[in-house]
Chains A and B, each alone.
Chain A
Amino acid sequence: MAAKVLEKEQLSENVFKLVFDAKKIAKKRKPGQFVVIRIHEEGERIPLTIANADPEKGTVTVIFQTVGKTTTHLSGLDVGDEILDLVGPMGKPTHIEKVGTVVCIGGGVGVPCVYPIAQGMREAGNHVIAIVGARNKDLILMEDEMKAVSDELLIATDDGSYGFHGFVSQALEEECIKKGKKIDHVVSVGPVPMMMAVCNTTKKYNIPTIVSLNPIMVDATGMCGACRVSVGGKTRFVCVDGPEFDGHEVDFKQLIDRQRIYLDQEKESMDHYCSCKQGRGGK
């Protein structure tokens, strides 16, 4: 289904928020689910986590970082522009139940993905501790929103320009676990190395940890297997079996390798896009 951009906001240098008109998806989606977008006829299909949705207004919000051609193109859309396809809601929703204290960790553009999960966890009656991280203060996303859906909020920056000086995994260990907070459950969404570091920490303390994965996908309906990942030694498809898995069972090395399959082509595609853009508007 085609979808129109209703709102657009630049959240940091490379991070953008788009609100789409998508009534049916807005009505159906649950925390943890994602959409697939295709901008134009020659476009690729990419998955983006649903950061927020308003069933009343019929809107779906995505927040993304410009990393390659498609996200760069997407960031160039204006209010009123239309993309060819917005498909969803895909993936299994987050399993939400009252377990006690839940730490919701978001790193970089993982924050918008963990936001609806934190919201759901809080609504289910959990005590929610949110940890929001980024390289520096300017890159911290959705601080106010995360504050609104958590009981405690911790900020961590790699360079120490704001909040805890260090990674989110260190903030979790130093500021929560070592300070004697009883943690029943951790949800971690962000770059793969960050999720891996969080899982290494929680494994030490035996805290169940869910991660939300965002590998390369094509159809996202379980048809192609592009997004396959080893979990507990078994091959699973992130699009239909996930996107959330037991972080202690995920083969992160394989996940990182598989995310790099098209590095060369991604660069070529970007160069092609830039040269086209200079020449004739680009698409």
Chain B
Amino acid sequence: MDMKERMKLPRHPMPEQDPKVRARNFDEVPLGYTPETAKEEALRCIQCKNPTCIEGCPVEIDIPGFIKLVAEGDFLGAARKIKEKNALPAICGRVCPQEDQCEARCIRGKKGEPVAIGRLERFVADYERSQGEVSIPEAASPTGKKIAIVGSGPAGLTVAGDLIKLGHDVTIFEALHKPGGVLVYGIPEFRLPKAIVASEIDYLKKLGVKVATSNVIGKLKTIDELFEEGYDAVFLGTGAGAPTFMNIPGENYNGIYSANEYLTRSNLMKAYLFPEYDTPIVKGKNVAVIGGGNVAMDSARTALRLGADNVYLVYRRSEKEMPARIEEVHHAKEEGIQFHLLTNPTRYIGDENGWVIGMECLRMELGEPDASGRRRPVPIKGSEFVIDVDTVVVAIGTGANPLIQSTTPGLDTNKWGYIMTNEETGQTSREGVFAGGDIVTGSATVILAMGAGRKAATAIHKYVMNK
């Protein structure tokens, strides 16, 4: 196909489950490209001499390189190419905000639509897995250095993948009973199937990474005790795990959840399969989700799948200011989530048994831009109204969990409790202790945590080899 023809190819849409059907099941929403679609989409890439897409990728995948292999039909080769830089492509292909990263820099996006890089990454990873031919690189010769990684989310997994390939002895400590962090407790099955997370972690195990679940570092062992046990360096990737509430009256009524609890029950504990699984969840009929981020969208869409009649997405700013990915907002709307924008809850109303039955809200208008650059929502006086609800999910962000910081003397944190690090190396105020991901930045994205993990892994390698 010549360049002219290639330029004419339109971006291939992602086949998806029908909105009405998928709103009542937990199966994955996008169905994935076929090999034919993937090849054709890959032909849209014009193989720029100076590709800008790579600059947009926090882990610097050779994007034109893998796409060329896809176009040639060498899907396994493409998978190997991605894995030179990214050990978790099936996950990133699904949850990265490509529209703000690689795809935002794609030359083809200047006039028309960018190459669907994320969809191709996902296709390649899925293809490799379905072939059962996941390639295991040759093991590096052992360095004799022991590294402890605390937390098995995206940051910790990236550090583990990078360091094991360099020949270090790597152990991940995870507080919960399953590894994956936010990938298993937070992101729902319909957006990131747990079997995929499990297989990416299996890949790391095959490389030699040890995973110790149900180990709560800070309680069972302190960081100092890890050093006493002979670890040469420690990476902290514990995430921003503490839920935030609004501290408005009635917030502890029955039926009001933090998004963390709601999603953990459904995703990690599989409450949507109750009573086959033991963990229950309140299956509300009228559910309000407070917030405008990806977690709010995940919660709202989960509520729908649990059988709600009405799911209200209540956000204090307008849709333009929503931090959620456009695709997630689009999916939520398609499935029938009702958006109450410029609306902010002020108190909850409960019955005599302590169950929430209503939520009083104020209407808001947008004022001057605030510190985040977004226009500040200002309440409209006297605009109170009540929404009837039996379940509420508060998804307004998370904070730092102090478990490690409070048991590690000399570990500096900022005023919000996040660990302070050198941005380039992840080095903390304690020698041999590195950190990255949400526990440093506050709630961000999977790929940014992976980017931080990549940098920290490089620094940890340098540190232990010079020790």
Also in contact, A224 and B177, with CB within 8 A (given A28-B220, A87-B214, A235-B251):
no
A218–B270 Cα distance when bound, in Å, is 12
Contact A223 B216 (CB under 8 A): no
Residue-by-residue, is A78-120 near B (CB-CB < 8 Å gives 1, otherwise 0)?
0000001111111000000000000000000000000000000
Contacts of A24 in B (CB 8 A): 220-221
Decide: B261 and A88 in contact? CB cutoff 8 A. no
A269 to B271, CA, bound (A): 12
- A8: interface (CB < 8 Å): no
Given contacts A24-B220, A45-B269, A265-B274, contact A257 B254 (CB under 8 A): yes
B413 to chain A, nearest CB (A): 15
Task: Identify whether the interface residues of A are mostly helix, strand, loop, or mixed.
Answer: mixed
Is B242's CB under 8 angstroms from A262's CB?
no
A38-B177, A222-B403 as given contacts; A1 in contact with B276, CB under 8 Å: no
Q: Is the CB of B216 within 8 A of A88?
A: yes
Q: Mark A246-275, 1 if CB is under 8 A from B, else 0.
A: 000000011001101110011011001000
Residues of chain B within 8 A of A261, CB atoms compared = 254-255, 282
User: Which residues of A have CB within 8 Å of B252?
Assistant: 228-230, 235, 254, 258
A46 to chain B, nearest CB (A): 9
Assess whether A260 is in contact with B265, with CB atoms less than 8 Å apart. Answer: no
Max chain A CB contacts within 10 Å: which of B175, B185, B215, B257? B175
Q: Are A221 and B265 in contact (CB under 8 A)?
A: no
Does any Cβ of B come within 8 Å of A160's Cβ? no
B349 to chain A, nearest CB (A): 14
- Whether a CB of chain B sits under 8 angstroms from the CB of A42 is yes
Name A262's contact: one of B245, B264, B280, B355 (CB within 8 Å): B280
Residues A260 and B254 in contact, CB atoms below 8 Å apart? yes
Q: Mark B166-203, 1 if CB is under 8 A from A, else 0.
A: 00000000011100000001000000000000000000
Residue from B219, B264, B354 in contact with A218 in the complex, judged by beta carbons closer than 8 Å: B264
Provide the bound-state CA to CA distance between A43 and B403, in Å: 25
The reply to whether A218 and B401 form a contact with Cβ atoms under 8 Å apart is: no
Q: How far is the CB of A270 from chain B (nearest CB, A)?
A: 9
Contacts of B255 in A (CB 8 A): 261
Select from chain A the residue with minimum beta-carbon distance to B394: A225
**Chain A, 46-90, CB within 8 A of any chain B CB:** 69-70, 84-90
Separation in Å of the A201 CB from the closest CB of chain B? Answer: 25
List of A residues within 8 angstroms of B245 by Cβ: 225, 235
Please give the number of chain B residues whose Cβ is less than 8 angstroms from any Cβ of chain A in the complex.
45
Does B260 interact with chain A (Cβ within 8 Å)?
yes
Q: Which of B213-256 contact A (CB under 8 A)?
A: 213-216, 219-221, 241-243, 245, 247, 251-255
Give the chain B neighbours of A84 by CB distance below 8 A: 177
Chain A CB within 8 A of B369 CB? no
- In Å, the complex CA distance between A86 and B242 comes to 22
**Is A272's CB under 8 angstroms from B220's CB?**
no
| Separation of A221 and B243 alpha carbons in the complex (Å) | 11
Pair A240/B403 contact, Cβ less than 8 Å? yes
CB distance from A200 to the nearest CB of B (A): 20
A42 with B276: CB separation less than 8 A: yes
Complex CA distance for A222 and B245, rounded to whole angstroms: 13
CA distance A218 to B274 in the complex (A): 15
Contact indicator A272/B275 (Cβ below 8 Å): yes
* A158 interface contact, C-beta 8 A: no
Query: Is A155 in the interface zone, CB < 8 Å from B?
Result: no
Report the nearest B residue to A68, measured CB to CB: B278
List A contacts of B254 (CB < 8 A). 257-258, 260-261
Complex Cα–Cα for A219 and B257 (A): 14
Are the CB atoms of B260 and A258 closer together than 8 Å?
no
Per a CB cutoff under 8 Å, which of B264, B270, B277 touches A223?
Answer: B264
Q: For B278, what are the chain A residues with a Cβ–Cβ distance below 8 Å?
A: 42-44, 69-70, 269
Instruction: Take A24-B220, A44-B278, A84-B177 as given contacts and tell me if A226 and B215 are in contact as well, using a CB distance cutoff of 8 Å.
Output: no
Say if the beta carbon of B279 comes within 8 Å of chain A.
yes
- Contacting pair A85 B214 (CB below 8 A): yes
User: Which residue on chain A has the smallest CB distance to residue B218?
Assistant: A221
On chain B, the residues within 8 Å of A230 by CB distance are: 252
- Whether a CB of chain A sits under 8 angstroms from the CB of B428 is no
Task: Flag if A218 contacts B269 (CB, 8 Å).
Answer: yes
**B353 interfacial contact with A, CB 8 Å:** yes
Q: Which residues of A contact B269 (CB under 8 A)?
A: 44-45, 218
**Residues of B contacting A183 with CB < 8 Å?**
none
A25 contacts chain B at the CB level, 8 A cutoff = yes
Mark contacts of B276-291 with chain A using CB atoms, 8 A cut-off: 1 yes-contact digit, 0 otherwise. Answer: 1111101000000000
Rounded to whole angstroms, the CA-CA distance of A257 and B252 in the bound complex is: 10
Whether B274 and A269, one on each chain, are in contact in the complex, defined by CB atoms closer than 8 angstroms, is yes
Q: How far apart are A48's CB and chain B's nearest CB, in angstroms?
A: 14
Q: Which of B212, B243, B279 has a CB less than 8 Å from the CB of A225? A: B243
Tell me whether B258 is interfacial, beta carbon within 8 Å: yes
- Indicate if the CB atoms of B275 and A268 lie closer than 8 Å: yes
List of B residues within 8 angstroms of A228 by Cβ: 252
CB nearest to A265 among chain B residues? B280
| Contact of A223 with B275 in the complex, beta carbons under 8 Å | no
B260 touches A254 (CB 8 A): no
B-chain residues with CB within 8 Å of residue A225 when the two chains form the complex: 243, 245, 257-258, 260-261
Taken together as a complex, chains A and B put the C-alpha atoms of A223 and B216 apart, in Å, by 12
A55 CB to nearest B CB, Å: 14
B215, A266: Cβ atoms closer than 8 Å = no
Q: A28-B220, A221-B403, A269-B278 are in contact. Are A1 and B215 (CB under 8 A)?
A: yes
- CB neighbours (8 Å) of A87 from chain B are 175, 177, 214, 216
B454: min CB distance to chain A, Å: 25
Write 21 A-B pairs (CB below 8 A) sorted by A numbering. A28-B221, A38-B177, A44-B279, A69-B278, A85-B213, A218-B261, A218-B264, A219-B185, A219-B264, A221-B176, A222-B242, A222-B402, A222-B403, A223-B185, A223-B401, A225-B243, A225-B258, A254-B252, A254-B354, A269-B278, A269-B280
